[in-house]
Structure 1
């Protein structure tokens, strides 16, 4: 398994990784036991030069041993020992280098502006020079599949030249991402047959036709011994082959032995860690590792899952570090609600109570969704909905009343409100809550007090958030670590203009435990909808 997240992956739009980010991800990839970590192109930019220097000092030995420096063959009409980017590969001080070369005759003559023979000489000189210095050399054969389809003899000649010069692995690249699985299978079989067992054959796929994962697995079935890809499939244009799909598919469904096979339970966390470091929102629909990969909404599906988890799941979620989720919506059956209740109450509620309560909750969910609520992405609100009607539940606080005011000293320019964030526009919120005044360990003596707080903010919702947190933190100090991560507003009936119903979703996170949760509320008043979602979010944090 050859990971190129830190090199090819960072070529994706809106993706940028600092040197510190790369060091963090490289450490995590090494812990996951990928065989190779392609960390960058030291001959192309100062950031990658810095990475390889710091890696020798900051990465553990087992991680350094997996590092790969990327580069290209020597330039035309330049001696290999005089090529600065070849020298940068040597100076990277890593055991393995991956060199990209042209393998498509049209690309050689029209893009590289070299003769076919000159290209072969560039390949031979570069590989032989680095191999002679003791480097393990892998060769990325750019545009290989397109080149093979256009001129198989020349594409194979490029492979033979690299192998004869000392390359340990020849990587067939579907650079434009336009090959189909049956083409990849046939071509891979021919190449593997030609070079086996003298040289390992690898695959590098792009996802322009949505085939990167399928092509990678097809090539493995055809005998390829190395697969390149990125975590979460990030990369140029539509991305690279997604290792988070390839690795578990090969390990579980094809039963392929890989060095990282024993680390599959860490895959979901690796996926989310990389997204977090790169400041990306995770794709909830990603196979295997996405939040929705094992989410079940239909009542019949959930009922079947109670009998056998594999009735609507191709693998056990825990095998790749994910979890099954039961979504609550108007499509839900009682089994969905009962599953949630089991998570909350365990066996502390008898079957009759659960049955009655589940029916009441289901009816309430359908009623609220008819009003515009959407609970499938707001587990925290569902949790509270189940608790509210349960015997013995006492909310940790209650909002008694609030006001929110906005003040602007200058409203003569609408564009100024968008382009400037000066102090002339402010908001102030006042909130009164009833909350716990003291707490005895035996839970027999709960005393409540009314608290009034005022806070300013950049808008009414921000001011309310600050005021509510200010009122609750003295009695509930754990709220200090709770932060709002995202705030989404949707107008449900835009034709109603200013009287439209608004749905608000708020994402929260505990900065200490890293737990995340989401709440939802609906109201014709956007401030009221926001406050209700805020209250749910803080209440969930306390239970």
Structure 2
């Protein structure tokens, strides 16, 4: 059976940039565009040229892509011709293959926000799309607030999108701008648009996630006949975000009936790089990846309950809807005080440690986990610390180094320029396996309004400074997240610190420390991170 072509349009660089707290540099945009092109996306919307210097600079520096590079703007303003509207001219001057213009399709917005008549707005849409097509560009029309507009005044909403279609728009994109339209409503309205004369292979869908239905709404639109989906990586976007392409793409490639019915232009083997692209965006934004994200989240294939882990050992499909490796992810069997021997043996096997089913050491490991979790430790989200505990109980953990002492000092003061300075200084002394001692020292000093590394970073840098023969192995390790929780309050408060790490091989691991002292809890987690890395990579 011949599969229909389903076009994928990414607006991370434009609509995604409207996320609160997000501001891409030109180089950031180039990196993201290159990654999207490598994945196989059909259209990359680079931004709104003329709206800000970064977007204009991106179109000058944009990489040559297989994907259709698209500039975004708005329809011409009333009282001007398309040839004489400088805002539209700036968009056209980006010289992209395609141009996407947003225009009003909700009568209330036309008359209230724009302050013009409905016929004037219709003519603005028609003239703008005609202008783009006459210049030899591919035209797309984003019908803003279309679904709300259709519910308020269906005849005018249809008039607006028909004007774009009749003027030659390759794609007429129906936008759920407020994100409040539910999937069944989207499907009904899409079918009405097709019945009114715009073919499904000329229609696109653009959903926002204000009811957590952007992905479902996009799929409902496809089911009803649209053949282009717009979205963003990791669901980035204004307010609650846009339809998440990181969820949509694997669903379209792996799930029926979409897998059999549609060709997205993305080969299935490209899915293995999906997690890496998702992490690239988080790294650029300096954001912590969402652990519960479908397909690419660190917890997407985590099995905590003993019953689940037991079934996974027999057949992973019992509790996994797809093989995690298909999307570049991995299975995790966390350890906690709910765990049974099935979890334990699977987690050890994942670490390359085979232990017989009736080995009495398994019970001792479980008992230690339960005891330490009573003290405040949490191993379900600190797999590396659990593995160290198990290796120690099994006699499989070499004594790479022992921390003899550490000292950390933090000071807040004003420097000679009158700036508030936060200074952290740390010293760590360790004894290596051969009996030699090494001392690491680190000091940072920054104006408070520019940067503050703090005492934990100072300890981390000091610990990394000199581990003798192991130094080369730990050079590429970096912290990616730091989480603190007080497990009980009052004068006997205990602090739990969980730290996430990553290395140049894209390996990710987490460790935990517990202490009444937050610095000491942090140092436990830092030390565990080093030991886990050495246990994995060191040959002796």
On whether the aligned pair clears a TM of 0.5, the verdict is yes
2:498 alignment counterpart: 505
1:530 alignment counterpart: 522
Q: Distance in 1 between matches of 2:174 and 2:411?
A: 62
Write the deviation string for residues 11-70 of structure 1: whole angstroms up to 9, x where unpaired: 011111111000110011011111111110113122111111111xxx13424xx11111
Alignment of 1:119-518 (within 5 A): 119-197=121-199, 200-253=202-255, 254=257, 255=259, 256-262=262-268, 263-346=270-353, 349-352=355-358, 355-391=359-395, 393-399=397-403, 401-404=404-407, 406=409, 420-422=420-422, 427-429=425-427, 431=429, 433-436=430-433, 448-453=434-439, 455=441, 457=443, 461-473=456-468, 475-496=470-491, 499-510=492-503, 512-518=504-510
Distance 1:464 1:21, change over 3 A: closer
Say which SS state the counterpart of residue 304 (structure 1) adopts.
helix
Alignment of 1:45-124 (within 5 A): 45-55=52-62, 59-63=63-67, 66-124=68-126
1:445 alignment counterpart: none
Give the C-alpha shift of residue 403 in structure 1: 4.6
Q: Which piece of structure 1 moves more, 28-37 or 532-541?
A: 532-541
Give the C-alpha shift of residue 179 in structure 1: 0.7
Q: Which piece of structure 1 moves more, 129-138 or 384-393?
A: 384-393
Give the C-alpha shift of residue 471 in structure 1: 4.3
Give the C-alpha shift of residue 477 in structure 1: 3.0
Give the C-alpha shift of residue 327 in structure 1: 0.8
2:4 alignment counterpart: none
Q: Distance in 2 between matches of 1:484 and 1:169?
A: 44
1:441 alignment counterpart: none
Give the C-alpha shift of residue 346 in structure 1: 4.9
Preserved contact between residue 34 and residue 65 of structure 2 (Cα < 8 Å): no
Say which SS state the counterpart of residue 6 (structure 1) adopts.
coil
Matched, 1:519 2:489: no
Q: Distance in 1 between matches of 2:455 and 2:220?
A: 55
Distance 1:178 1:132, change over 3 A: same
Say which SS state the counterpart of residue 62 (structure 1) adopts.
coil
- Structure 2, unmatched stretches of 5+, are 1-7, 445-453, 536-540
Say which SS state the counterpart of residue 121 (structure 1) adopts.
helix
Tell me the C-alpha RMSD between the 2 structures. Answer: 2.2
Q: Distance in 2 between matches of 1:251 and 1:475?
A: 44
Give the C-alpha shift of residue 180 in structure 1: 1.2
Q: Distance in 1 between matches of 2:320 and 2:408?
A: 51
Say which SS state the counterpart of residue 174 (structure 2) adopts.
strand
Distance 1:120 1:5, change over 3 A: same
Write the deviation string for residues 440-485 of structure 1: whole angstroms up to 9, x where unpaired: xxxxxxxx12315263546654554344333414553322333334
Aligned length: 510
